[in-house]
Every structure is written in C-alpha cells, then in structure tokens.
Amino acid sequence: MDCIEAWSPEMVSHSLTPSIRDQILKTLIRTCNHDNVIDVISSFPAVELLDRPLKSYLTKQAVMADSWIHIPTFNVNEVRLELAIGCLAATATLSSSRSAYVWDFASFQGSDNSLYMV
C-alpha cells in the first residue's frame, strides 16, 4: 500500500506490531471461504506495508474536525481487533494505489462478511 500522505510521529507514535498483523490475518482466514484462504494468506501485506499507510490515515484523522477516532488515546495494538481492521480497510480504500484498493476489496470479498456484523 502506498502512503496516503505524510504521517506525524508526534500524533501517531505507536506502530502496528507483527502479532496484531497476525491476529488480523487469522481473523480474515477464519472468515474466508475455504477456497480463498491461500489467496488471502499469499496477498496479505507485511506489517511494515500496513503500518505506514495506517499512520498516515490516523494523522489525517487527527486533524479532521469530524474525526471519529480520538487519536491521543488510540493505540492500534490495544484497541479491539475489529477497529484495527476497520482502520486498515479505510486506509486502503482512501489510498491512491490501485493495488491497495484491490487488496482491501479482495480481502473482504473473500470473507463471509461476518466482520461487518461486529
């Protein structure tokens, strides 16, 4: 995924950990149609490729008047996993990178939509 825009380390100081990335992947696998599991695993980005765009997205949220995330208390490694997944999905859909958007669409199309029921 490309970087949406610059991120501010003063606003977003926490980095996505590999264990949270793995939990997100496990959740997607658990909700996937059996036929799509290999595709989801093979296309799932490394933690570094998820972290930078996520930080850009959160930096953008921090300066928006109608932000729905309280950035000073937000730590992607401590929030509910579904919120972290939602932030990553929002990051991908706002990206100018076609591959990021396609990854987001493919990841969630491969699921049985139970993530949306949370």
Per-residue pLDDT tens digits for 8-60: 777 788 899 999 999 999 988 888 888 888 988 888 889 998 888 888 888 88
Grade residue 95 by pLDDT with cuts at 50, 70 and 90. low
Model pTM?
A: 0.72
Residue 63 pLDDT greater than 70, yes or no: yes
Q: Which two tokens stand for residue 42?
A: 């093979």
3-state secondary structure 50-81: HHHHHHHHHHHHHHCCCCCCCHHHCCCCCCCH
> Tens digits of per-residue pLDDT, 76-89?
999 999 998 888 88
Separation CA 113–CA 117 (nearest Å):
7
114 within 8 A of 28, measured Cβ to Cβ = no
